Chains A and B, each alone.
Chain A
Amino acid sequence: MPGLVQHLFTNYYETAAVVLFGIGFTTLLMHRNLLKKIIGFNFMDSAIYLYLASKGYIAGRLAPIVSGENADPARYINPIPTGLVLTGIVVSVSVTAFLLALTCRLYDRFHTLDIDEITRLARKEQV
């Protein structure tokens, strides 16, 4: 057990990422307020980016932007995770935009941000 705690402290980025992921996931799942769900989703995704970025980081090296001099891989951190993070950010932004648009429409229609309340009101409508 002390070894585990030791590991958790050494890899504090990853630990923080997982904790943040848990917070975000739970918020997305449990909260009734739509905006808080969206925030939770962003927490979740940002946690993943933190994890990825920390995986790519190698202490003492530069950002992987080759400028002029010979491209020696040993000078730079691992570029792949940062590429993944970029892709992930795009995905996260698109999904957040979609969710926000839906939230706007829902609020216009039902005047509440509470998803349970909205579900109850919508069930009454005859489709």
Chain B
Amino acid sequence: MALVQNFPFITIVFSLTCGVLCAVLPGRGAKRLCLGWLALTTAMSGAVLRFTLTTDGSFLYRMGKWGAPFGNELRVGVLEALMATAFSGVMLLSLLGGMRHIFADCEPGKVNLYFTMCALLMSSLFALIYTNDLFTAYVFVEINTIASCALVMLRSSDRTLVATTRYLIMSLLGSGLFLLGIVTLYGITGELLLESIAEKVQALFAAGQYSLPLTVIIGFFSVGLAVKSALFPFHSWLPDAHGSATPSSSAILSGLVLKGYIIVLIKIFYRVFGLEIIVSEQVSRFLLLFGVLAMLVGSVNALRERDLKRLLAYSSVAQVGYIYVGIGLHSELGMVAACVQILAHALTKPMLFICAGGFMDVSGGHKDLAAITGAGLRDPLGGAAFSVGALSMMGIPFFAGFVTKLELARGALEAGPVTLGITFAALAVSTLLNALYYIPIVFNLYTRPRDGAWAGVRQRYHWEYAAALAAFIALNLGFGMGSDWVVGAIRRGLALFGM
């Protein structure tokens, strides 16, 4: 067994350790440890990615060398490694970009706990990506929930307090359903490892037994994870939570946390039930419908918002809808599109939130659209990054968003005429709505305020902010222009992802 194959396990477990260590270190020390560790995990995940690409296969990592069906397993393939690398890179950049705000927003003496939570979050994200066991998935889903709620609470204000509470309550509803699904499935099949469950499930479907319970279980999984990833109509908690948190937290929550749950859902669909059964159960129809509604409702609500961060949060609701549309397309190409959107959104939305934080700096701490007039002139790099993000959201070629739309269209063209029509219409209207609220903001950024407010203020570029934004811009453009490689890797990964 190559050393590289231990890396997934190391990233999970040592992230937990890092979190514990951060809790006992002072603020600056915790920051250095966390950032350093994140850089290391990105490198390690990259090494795993290279390994899986060159061996062109996935490998099983048995914990403690116990074999199936008793032991716990990690399964690592191209898709998992790609997601892990991307997630840990994005978390690193998000923390870097919003570092000043983290220290400014937090109560003194408690900053190290924030980094603890980030490390725990990273550990749970890795675990959700790599795990091959259903109950482990549940445990780390709960760790994910707690850590992300704690992330919102960095800034102790009324709004974050209420937002955290509502987020936690909604999340627990989702977890409850998810757990019920797991437990019922365990009751029927007696297995917890995904492949073992899959064998039993296939046999049951072939024999026609337990068909209603299995359908209901699929429903539990879908609804539970949809609630946690803020699919319409379960998105009401998202704008408050993402809109009131510190920029780094909003970035991580929007870009990564939501996606972790969707990856678990895709994993269950692929490895436990298999795509044919999901198709025959028509569950995806509802996901498609709600995805389309999310695209529209999210954008319409964003249009009405005057607060920049809440607007970006509603935009996240719409973008999550894209992912579910991809899943709901019932096909291999649709899943590819969903994974592409996971990556594309993970690269774009954190950048937008970090820019919002930067604009707040040069606008006296205000974040409503009227106050950030001219912020692009006072903070050129932030303005440029926001423009890149806005064009990506609109789906202009050369940027990441265009690749998503292309893949979704490819997936839709394979589906039946009704699905095709609905998807195309939703894509067109959603792009239009995106343009309607992003382009005016971009113009607003570069318009001098009429009353000369904040005239002499200039952004002081700390290396962290500048480096994070520069890296985000480069990644976005790289994804947009070099998408061949990524999409090919995703296809390979999905082929290996299944049974």
A interface list, Cβ under 8 A from B: 14, 21, 24-25, 28-29, 34, 37, 41, 44-45, 48, 51-52, 55, 80-81, 84, 87-88, 91, 94-95, 98-99, 102-103, 105-106, 109-110, 115, 118-119, 121-123, 125, 127
- Residue in A98, A103, A110 whose CB lies within 8 Å of B146: A98
Bound CA–CA A51/B365 (angstroms):
51
Residues of B with C-beta under 8 A to A52: 183, 186
Contacts A95-B142, A109-B161, A122-B159; is A87 near B135 (CB within 8 Å)?
A: yes
Residue interface mask B143-162, A partner, CB < 8 A = 1: 00110011000000111011
- From A41, A91, A119, A123, residue with most partner B Cβ within 10 Å: A91
Bound CA–CA A99/B142 (angstroms):
13
Q: Contact between B135 and A41 (Cβ–Cβ < 8 Å)?
A: no
Stretch at the interface among B169-177, B256-264, B345-353: B169-177
Bound CA–CA A29/B327 (angstroms):
27
- From B149, B158, B164, residue with most partner A Cβ within 10 Å: B158
Contacts A55-B186, A91-B142; is A106 near B162 (CB within 8 Å)?
A: yes
20 CB contacts below 8 A, A to B, read: A28-B169, A28-B176, A37-B169, A44-B176, A52-B186, A84-B183, A84-B186, A94-B146, A95-B146, A95-B168, A98-B149, A102-B165, A106-B165, A110-B158, A115-B169, A122-B159, A122-B161, A122-B162, A123-B159, A127-B159
Bound CA–CA A55/B183 (angstroms):
9
The answer to whether B179 has its CB under 8 Å from any CB of chain A is yes
Q: Tell me if A's interface is mostly helix, strand, loop or mixed.
A: helix
Q: Contact between B172 and A115 (Cβ–Cβ < 8 Å)?
A: no
Contacts A48-B179, A88-B179; is A109 near B139 (CB within 8 Å)?
A: no
CB distance from A96 to the nearest CB of B (A): 10
The answer to whether B434 has its CB under 8 Å from any CB of chain A is no
The answer to whether B486 has its CB under 8 Å from any CB of chain A is no
List 17 extra interface pairs beyond A48-B179, A80-B192, A125-B158, CB under 8 A: A14-B187, A24-B176, A25-B176, A29-B173, A44-B172, A44-B176, A48-B183, A55-B183, A81-B186, A87-B139, A94-B146, A95-B142, A95-B172, A102-B164, A105-B161, A109-B158, A127-B157
The 10 A-B pairs at the shortest CB distance, nearest first, are namely: A122-B162, A122-B158, A125-B158, A91-B142, A44-B176, A127-B159, A55-B187, A102-B165, A122-B159, A48-B179
Q: Contact between A125 and B157 (Cβ–Cβ < 8 Å)?
A: yes
- Residue in A21, A41, A94, A115 whose CB lies within 8 Å of B166: A115
The answer to whether B244 has its CB under 8 Å from any CB of chain A is yes
Bound CA–CA A99/B184 (angstroms):
27
Residues of A with C-beta under 8 A to B187: 14, 51, 55
The answer to whether B180 has its CB under 8 Å from any CB of chain A is yes
Q: Contact between A98 and B168 (Cβ–Cβ < 8 Å)?
A: yes
Bound CA–CA A95/B173 (angstroms):
12
Q: Contact between B162 and A28 (Cβ–Cβ < 8 Å)?
A: no
Bound CA–CA A73/B169 (angstroms):
41
B interface list, Cβ under 8 A from A: 135, 138-139, 142, 145-146, 149-150, 157-159, 161-162, 164-166, 168-169, 172-173, 176-177, 179-180, 183-184, 186-187, 192, 244
Q: Contact between B176 and A102 (Cβ–Cβ < 8 Å)?
A: no
Bound CA–CA A55/B188 (angstroms):
10
- Closest B residue to A49 using CB positions: B183
Residues of B with C-beta under 8 A to A102: 161, 164-165, 168
Q: Contact between B180 and A48 (Cβ–Cβ < 8 Å)?
A: yes
- Residue in A28, A80, A103, A106 whose CB lies within 8 Å of B173: A28
Residues of A with C-beta under 8 A to B157: 125, 127
Bound CA–CA A112/B145 (angstroms):
25
Bound CA–CA A87/B157 (angstroms):
33
Q: Contact between B165 and A28 (Cβ–Cβ < 8 Å)?
A: no
- Closest A residue to B142 using CB positions: A91
Q: Contact between A45 and B168 (Cβ–Cβ < 8 Å)?
A: no
Residues of A with C-beta under 8 A to B158: 109-110, 121-122, 125
Bound CA–CA A123/B179 (angstroms):
33
CB distance from A1 to the nearest CB of B (A): 14
Q: Contact between A119 and B161 (Cβ–Cβ < 8 Å)?
A: no
Bound CA–CA A118/B244 (angstroms):
16
CB distance from B25 to the nearest CB of A (A): 22
CB distance from B217 to the nearest CB of A (A): 13
Residues of A with C-beta under 8 A to B139: 87, 91
Contacts A48-B179, A55-B187; is A125 near B173 (CB within 8 Å)?
A: no
Residues of A with C-beta under 8 A to B177: 25
Residues of B with C-beta under 8 A to A94: 142, 146
- Residue in B146, B176, B244 whose CB lies within 8 Å of A45: B176
Q: Contact between B165 and A25 (Cβ–Cβ < 8 Å)?
A: no
Residues of A with C-beta under 8 A to B179: 45, 48, 88
Bound CA–CA A122/B165 (angstroms):
12
Residues of B with C-beta under 8 A to A41: 172, 176
